[in-house]
Structure 1
Amino acid sequence: MTLFDPAQTRPSLSRLKTIWPIVLGLVLFLMGLWALHHLLASIDVRQVIVQIKATPWPTLGAALGATALGYLALVGYDFWALHYLGKRLPLRTVALGGFLGYAFGNTVGISVISGGAVRYRIYSAAGLNAFEVAGLSSYIAVAMGMGLTLVGVLALAVHPAALAGVISASEAAIRLGAIGISALILGGAFWLSVTGRALRIRGFEIAMPAPRILLGQLVVALFDSTMASLALWVLMPEGTPPFASFLAIYAAATMVGVLSHVPGGVGIFETVVIAALPAGVPVGAAAAGLLAFRMIYFLLPFALAFAIVSINEARLAGGWAARIFGEISEPMRPVMGGVEGVAPRIAGIAVLGLGFWLIIVALMPSLSQRIDDPGLVGAILAEGGTLACALAGVLLIVLSQALVRRVQLAHSLTIGTLIVGVFAVLADDLDTESAVVLGLAALALWPFRRAFHRQAALSEGGFGPIWVALLAGMLASAAMFFFLAHEATPYTNALWLDFTAKSATPRALRAGLLVSALMLGLLLWLALRPSRSFALTPDPDQDRAVSEILETQDTPQGWFALTGDKQVVFSSERDAFLMYARRHGLCAVLGDPVGPPEPARQLAWDFHERARREGITPVFYEVSTKYLPLWIEMGYALHKIGEEAVIELQNFSLAGSKYKTMRAEQNRALREGCSLEIVSPPHDPALIDELRAISDSWLAGQKGKEKGFSVGRFEPRYLNHCELALIRRDGQILGFANLLGSPGAQHFGIDLMRYRPEAADGVMQFLFLALIEALRDRGATELSLGLAPLAGLSDRVSARLTSRLGNLIYRHGGSFYNFEGLRRFKQKFRPDWRPRYVALPPGTSPYLALTEIALLISGGARNLFTKD
């Protein structure tokens, strides 16, 4: 049996929604790169590097001080966002989450997503749920955008000359317009804050926090932007405009960089700043200042964050790190455990940057000849070092995506490649600075080894459109650097054959050819690699293996793997499984993966990568909040599909006035001779035949045929795995339900609930109440009454269209399914309502996915509303 059949795959238009922003970002990056190349055409790369190294220590100190104060202000965003949400966390937790979030988000770009993922790991460990962290990240993004806009406009009000040469308006008009816009922003924000009203713009709703929080947030925003701008301004050469004018330039360049969606605004930010500087400012000196600013304000905090996470990993493992830095305190241990989940992504980004740096080193002209007459050995070492730098750089770039996916082999290979890189840069040009950086990176990466546990191939998955765009952007950047660095060298065919130790340009030319060949080859392989499928042979021991796992996991939903209408995939150690069904190009997994956390997570990753590699859309249906970090890490979007009703058995009681009617009905049923009997499998065939007759009569009165996938079917093979709850009266069976859970379990669920039509009045209520009492006496803690589809969805104007449409169907779809009546019936038992979601990969339409799942459950469109 083949799990994925390429013949059944078909391209989806929704994939274009995933690709076009990536293509647009790449195009904008290349345009910015082209503009930057023209602006820097007259500079000498050697002089730029020399100027950076010659930066006075007081200037560096001022830039470092401004950067430190800027990141302190950035943490203030998190502080006020938590106040806005009404949450209180220890200050050290907020400082850790804020710093790591910004250090990661500022470097990678799209801070609300990349930084938000880091915050989720830390703040969720401190007690916040996924929606609160999402709200915090969104609040920060809006606050930063508003603050940056306000800073730029106020700077123009003070120094309108900053844009007088860019737009055709007088300085007085620019100042007046800037003052008016500032007053509008500040006045409108405080008016909304004081009155508590919300501003609605084309379906979007904007509300302001309380005046105290708003004022604190504005102070943070002004201070943050001012310090970041100051860190760059002190590094710029003479002739740069006064700080107030430069602040407007910085704000405009940052906003353009953010809007471009290019990671970190690389190339775009620099182009805008250089273009806005007066004509008398030396372009080479400005480029040196911008490059130094990138290293100080972006790379240095990221390196510090990388070191913090590395030390944290070592402290969690115990040993020397715990002795040197001390044990992690108990209050901070959950938070530091959350930081552990960030390690693979931070390691991947760090290794990606180091790989690109090694390529640049290979293409860089020699800054100094440290050996007067190196001879043949020196020439061989220089040539080999340059080519080894190029090869190691490309290898690190490839390994970085495997590190993000937690592949075990990638960790050891990366450390080995970094060590090779140390010797390569020393042989290339005695580059001790780069050698120290690579050596420290290898040491910092070593404690991360526990985070890389997946036994997967390095080339499996991970190479999607984003990676293609990233490789293309890196290749273009390397080409631009090469032409800038060696533009003064006239080209001749003899360059290819010059192998002397002092010939830096020919070595860089050959290294560039190697890099181009390797990266273009990788891009070609990604584009043309054939579709492969793997076969899943029938497993005669499948039910037994599933039952063994269920005995240890106590997961009621996992019992649906025994219904016979789904495929089951096991982990490599057969200690975890997930169940799925196919329909056209969709592969729908039911519920969370079942098993211990680590094998379950790895199984979900493996399944995702197999499906995407074969062109199938993987969808996880009816997932809980248990693995929310996993879905976020995999890039899935979650859409709420309903709420599960769970009764806490030990706290349930019919005492009190609110249960007066139910108590009276239950007592009446008992007086009439109703009783509950729970029978264990295997079941008598005569009993199964009697229950089949009840099931058939019940189905005859329902809309549609027997369902499947997310609910059980009346199948003797399935029922013989389950305990059956029978309602009898005078010996006759009135109704029944099968229990999901082993006899000694703590958590139970109910699947099939069927009864004789003549006994419909109150039989299910009696079943639930009697079952609650019986399971409570066993010592069980929870009983799930199942999902209430589309319940609890938001109907706000600003909510997702899927939520509003689902809410509309929930309230008015009684002709198709009694959604509201089902929830109302379950609400009588006062359950704990727990959200359930469908997790969709990027670019997947929720409407198409849910339609296919609905048809999967019903068995086809003809079975939705027709009877047998």
Structure 2
Amino acid sequence: MKNIVEWFKNRLGKIKVIFLLSVVVIVVSELMNIGKTISFDQLGTIFDQISKGRIVLMALIGLLAILPMVGYDWVLNRLLGQKPNKVYLLETSWLVNTLNNIAGFGGFISAGLRSELYGKKTSGKAVVKALSKVLVFTMSGLSIYALLSFFLTLTGQTGSYLQQYWLWLIGGGLYFPIVFLLSVFGKGEYLGDLKNRERFQLIGTSFLEWTGVLVSFISTGFLMGISFEIRQVVPLFIAATVIGIVSMIPGELGSFDLMMIIGLSALGISRETVVAWILLFRLFYYIIPFLIGIVLFFRNIGTTLNQHYHGIPVDLLKELAHKLEVILLYFTGTMLVLSATIPEAFEHFRFLRRLNPIHSRAIVVFPAILLGYLLIIAGRGIAARVKRGFWPTIILILLSFVYTLAAGFTVFTGIYLTLLLLFVIFSKGELYREQLVYSAEWLTIDGFIIGGLALLYIVIGVYNSPTIHHRHHLPEFFLFPSEQIWIVGFAAILLVSLIVLLLIRFLKGPRIRIGEAVEDTRVQSILETYGGNPDSQLVFLKDKQVFYYQSGEIDTVFFQLATFNNKLLIMGDPSGKKEDFPAATEALITEADKYNYQPVFYENGEEMVMILHEFGYDFIKFGEKAHVFLPDFTLSGKKRKGQRSSFNKNIKEGFQFDVLQPPFSAETMQQLKGISDEWLAGRKEKGFSLGFFSEDYLQRAPIAVVKNKEEELVAFANFMPTYSKEIGTIDLMRHSPKKAPSGTMDFLFINLFQYMREQGVAYFDLGMAPLANVGTSRKSFTQERIAYLVYHFGSRFYSFGGLKEYKDKYASEWIPEYVLYSRDSWIGFVMIALLIVDNAPIKGEKRPSGIKRFLLRN
């Protein structure tokens, strides 16, 4: 053994040279391998599509992500009792860490380089001891993120695809607590004698390092314009990294890329986009920082790179802190309630003890239940980015500190709550909304969590009741300390419910709605100056609010809208100056977002689809609008035989067509009202997307009527001014079932076609057939099939199939119409909101009641 040691000592210089040469070979080899994976033609195409500013941001964020790793070498030199020049430390540390990122091999290369760079004035044993303390903590940050990702998958916050990697996440997550405990309780000189100060510095450095990696990867995707959910991508990235590190492939090349390509493709991102994403990430996080490290090493540039960041990385870190903050608030609240609900389970199962951030037996049930539920609601306020949520959350975390001090404080609990408090403070800038509007989606999620916890508590109490005989043995972890404590807890839940409602009420604040009442002069000015569309005239029904957009001080665009819960339902395309539509849409979305509403655009054309797609909106086809090309319309030919026969029959029976011009006499309006009431036959009038009988509304445009030979009105349809010669249309189409024979409406339509053609109108708009050719194919989008089911079974008035069939008799072409909604909305709730608002009784009719009234008010 002595001979072997002596042989190594004699050849130590040569071994160092061989090691350094090996490092150079490995680096060159890995750079060549990475170069093979990069298609420079593909990168050229990507660079052409991405603005230069965004490319610069990707590079800057990638560089910033490297900086936290300098902390390892700062701690290492402290352990070695050295104080190297700061510029030298930055240059060498940057080079070592960026080289290790590319070459990998489990940190062996970085250990050798650090020994060479920082160990010249210290004994070899001291260097090994110091390196062992530093290197063992480099994966602690990844381990923390693996635990958080495991919690995401465990709580169902991620897609089903990620569930299969839970074992890797929990395996990676266990690394940190094991290393932490060994460093605290171990007695070895290579790890056990580490001081608390250096220990937490290393943990903090590692956490910041892996936060930087995540921020670099995620921001690259965002700057490429890729749409995705961070909570889906982060666990996938962490799992892929853990697998890549275990494989010990340099730079995780191959295994990481393959898993990310498959995983992100499963999330709906095309493989070509994923490949480009990974290439850019590797370019800006691996290659460019390494090249800069070499330049810094030789040119002594120092720390000037920080001047170019402009605070952008801080904003990204705040966003990530906000996401983590919400997760931790929900998780902490849930664990507190569970610790009071099934306290014995936390003693029987180790994994529950490890999961629980507040290690107490929660003998004092009321504070645990109260704080738990309130933290969940605070988490909702923070998730909704409501300004009012900041101070209640701070107070609740501080109260949790006080509670844990009384119930059994631990160092881990203190660290956890401190970290949570820092997240809240750091991400305060993310809270910008003026109010909380509790959406049906959020109500479902929080109701499931809070209701599930309350139901579990009740079930546990019933199971523990001595008066109930159980056929099967009750699992021990369901045992409760005593019936008296359970009763106290149950009473606490009832009291907490009231306090929770008060907190929700505080977060909501005074309700502020979007839009203004209709002002005839403002609306008319926009329509006459810039034009409108077939839905513009509905604004004069005054059953909706109006959002005005101004260019300078002049109104140029308006939207028609109604509010349901947190949904801002915008009826039809905007009216006014088309050039201002994108800016007006952005202004509306921004205003809605400020007050916590989610816009839903109803019955929109393809032009609005393209505008809203740029804002990240999803869309589904909702139906088709029938257009008749009037210059080609004729009753000749076999296709029109039925309509021609019906038309001639009405003429022979003495029916006449006429167009009445406003203003209309009281007698005429009375006749029209009689026809309308007879046609309704007791049914309620609907508004929003359809017109209803309103004298003020009808007085604004001509009315087409059908008269019998006695000169009595038997049918009518009011014109809908479109402020364009391109399209003409009508709104109310009503006839007397007693006096109007079969075919009267065909007679009315044919005469309207001929009349408008003579007026120079190109197309007649027959209106939309909802759900025409939507969701009926097995290959249709899931959202469209859900929409079809909700609207088909929920509507009480429409016969969708019959409407499409009737309009198809005349239609020259069918134009698709769409519903567009935020990706934070659930399509089922979107369709329910549209169904209720579209079928709500008009002003002055019977008011909605029950849950419908509650949702309308909230």
Q: Into which bin does the TM-score normalised by the smaller protein fall? A: 0.3 to 0.5
The structure having more radius of gyration, on CA atoms, is 2
Q: TM-score, normalised by structure 2?
A: 0.46
